[in-house]
Amino acid sequence: MRRPALWSVLVVLVIISIPALALAGGDGDFAEYEERGLGWMYLASFGFGFLTSLTPCVYPMIPITLAIFGARGKDVSKRRAILLATAYVFGMGATYSVLGVTIALVSGAADFGTQLGHPALVIPLVLLFTVLAASMFGAFELSLPAGLQARLNQVGGKGFGGAFAMGLVGGLIAAPCTGPFLAGLLAYVSTTGSVFSGGSLLFVYAIGMGILFWVLAAFALSLPKSGAWMEWVKSVGGVALLWAALYFLRPLVPSLRLFASPALWFLVTALATVGIGVLIGGITRSFHGPWSERIRKGAGVALMVAGLFAAWDWWVVPKRHLPWIHDEAAAFERARAEGKGVMIDFGATWCIPCDELERTFGDDDVYEAVTKSFVPLKFDVTEDTAANDKLRERYGAQTLPSVIFLDTKGHVLTRVKKYLEPDKMLRVVRPAVKQLAQTAEPAAAKAP
């Protein structure tokens, strides 16, 4: 019994590793998105996929689906059952990956990332997440036309080909429950414009949905009975989607970026707020009960979303802020007077990794390394103006984030074009300091 069980676990681990294997064989451009926190999005995609498998549209149908393509039965070996389940999950993965790649290509052509601070894009995106959250709380259902769903139900059959074909349409059949999760994930993909991340994130989502298929195929277990807990799962999804709405609204609303404190008490308060929201019924209560229950549900959801968002803001808020100068001439004059270089940071309110870099600059070691040898100069290029375009072109800052270390003669020492954690930023700053020491003229030498 041990060998087949171990083999099935290894199969699952290999499948989950497919995006990483694809990255190893790629051109490395994905590293830029990974530094921006996309690694967390893989975990979220997997989690969303697993939560989807626990919803009423998917969960009760798992044993039936396995039986249709021949993965359940006394005469079916465990190895064959696992391979059939894998064919089904890969079918779902193929459908979702194509969808993710398509969205990434369309959004990349539209250059969504550079417009993420514009209300014309942000507000519809926030409204979309809010509407999707409402559907998770039971306000309405997302479903396919009855005729189309009937045709999709006829696709597939026994064997590997049938299992794969069923997987291709399985996600579409489960649209009433996959819709909110999937649409929220696709909205995120549209902001990256990355074909690789679009395809791999959606594939990981399918892997999350397929975990229970593998478990049942490998161990021939019976699933716990359906019940109210599945509605609780949908409530968790609704809370997550509302948090995502605030996440995308954050670049547009300064108060959402500035209210957090780096103090530990702020995090404790945020987590306590989440706990109170859960206790008063943010997950377990329903919007379809008496008004007293609806009010408790609404209050609980509001507290959970606020607490989670506050905890996130605590994580990204910098401990301290660099003494930024916003005047180019003044920054270079001061650098010459103090025998330092200049660190130029191009930023914009819509640039999420630019905002996250503030946390890196607030790290004690990074702060000391920068302020000891460089005068920090910040350019806000949120507005798409001719002056900003000319400035970015002059310094070669076409993409954001863009941090440039220079000496006072304007010679570039090094550049940073992506979000870096403090330890990685120090690996960039320290060599720049050494180069600066070789080229900069000490302030004392200028004294008459």
Question: Are 301 and 415 within one domain?
Answer: no
pLDDT reading at 61 higher than 80 = no
pLDDT one-digit tens code per residue, 223-281: 566 667 777 877 887 888 888 788 878 877 777 877 788 889 999 999 999 999 999 99
Q: What is the CATH number of the domain that holds 440?
A: 3.40.30.10
pLDDT reading at 25 higher than 60 = no
Question: Are 152 and 204 within one domain?
Answer: yes
pLDDT one-digit tens code per residue, 287-315: 888 999 999 999 999 999 999 999 988 88
Rounded-to-integer distance, Cα 120 and Cα 256, Å: 19
Rounded-to-integer distance, Cα 246 and Cα 257, Å: 10
pLDDT of residue 155: 44
Residue 147 exposed, middle or buried by CB count within 10 Å (0-12, 13-18, 19+): exposed
Question: Are 26 and 141 within one domain?
Answer: yes
Band of residue 137 on the pLDDT scale cut at 50, 70, 90: confident
Question: Are 182 and 64 within one domain?
Answer: yes
Question: Are 241 and 352 within one domain?
Answer: no
In a domain, 201, yes or no: yes
Distances (CA, A) of 349 to 45, 191, 193, 343, 405: 26, 14, 18, 19, 22
pLDDT reading at 3 higher than 70 = no
Question: Are 136 and 160 within one domain?
Answer: yes
Of the chain, the end-to-end C-alpha distance in Å amounts to 86
Question: Are 246 and 264 within one domain?
Answer: no
Domain count, the chain: 3
Question: Are 118 and 37 within one domain?
Answer: yes
168 or 392: which carries more pLDDT confidence? 392
In a domain, 323, yes or no: no
Locus of tokens 């968002």: 309
pLDDT reading at 59 higher than 90 = no
Residues 6+ apart with CB under 8 A from 111: 193
Q: Where does a domain end: 250, 270, 303?
A: 250
pLDDT reading at 23 higher than 50 = no
**Cβ count near 342 (within 10 Å):** 23
Residue 308 exposed, middle or buried by CB count within 10 Å (0-12, 13-18, 19+): buried
Mean pLDDT confidence for 336-354: 88
In the chain, what percentage of residues exceed pLDDT 90?
Answer: 25
pLDDT of residue 243: 85
pLDDT of residue 159: 65
Mean pLDDT confidence for 353-361: 85
In a domain, 45, yes or no: yes
Report the half-sphere exposure of 296 (CA within 13 A, side-chain side): 15
pLDDT of residue 412: 92
Q: Where does a domain end: 250, 274, 290?
A: 250
Question: Are 56 and 196 within one domain?
Answer: yes
Q: Mean pLDDT check: name the lowest of 19-33, 42-56, 229-243, 362-376.
A: 19-33
Band of residue 102 on the pLDDT scale cut at 50, 70, 90: confident
In a domain, 182, yes or no: yes
Locus of tokens 């499948």: 15
**Cβ count near 22 (within 10 Å):** 14
For the chain, helix (H) and strand (E) counts, in that order, are: 20, 4
Mean pLDDT of the chain: 76
pLDDT of residue 134: 83
Question: Are 244 and 184 within one domain?
Answer: yes
Question: Are 292 and 403 within one domain?
Answer: no
Tokens of 209: 């949905």
Tokens of 270: 């945020």
Top mean pLDDT of 86-90, 164-168, 423-427 is at 423-427
In a domain, 132, yes or no: yes
In a domain, 143, yes or no: yes
Top mean pLDDT of 123-132, 179-188, 192-201, 299-308 is at 299-308
Question: Are 310 and 198 within one domain?
Answer: no
Band of residue 343 on the pLDDT scale cut at 50, 70, 90: very high
pLDDT of residue 444: 42
Expressed as residue numbers, the domain containing 349 is 328-446
Rounded-to-integer distance, Cα 174 and Cα 157, Å: 18
Query: Read out DSSP for 365-380?
Result: HHHHHHHHHEEEEEEE
In a domain, 322, yes or no: no
DSSP 325: B
Band of residue 375 on the pLDDT scale cut at 50, 70, 90: very high
Q: Find out whether 242 and 301 touch, Cβ atoms under 8 Å.
A: yes
Mean pLDDT confidence for 407-427: 90
Q: Is the pTM of this model over 0.85?
A: no
Band of residue 153 on the pLDDT scale cut at 50, 70, 90: very low
In a domain, 321, yes or no: no
In the chain, what percentage of residues exceed pLDDT 70?
Answer: 70
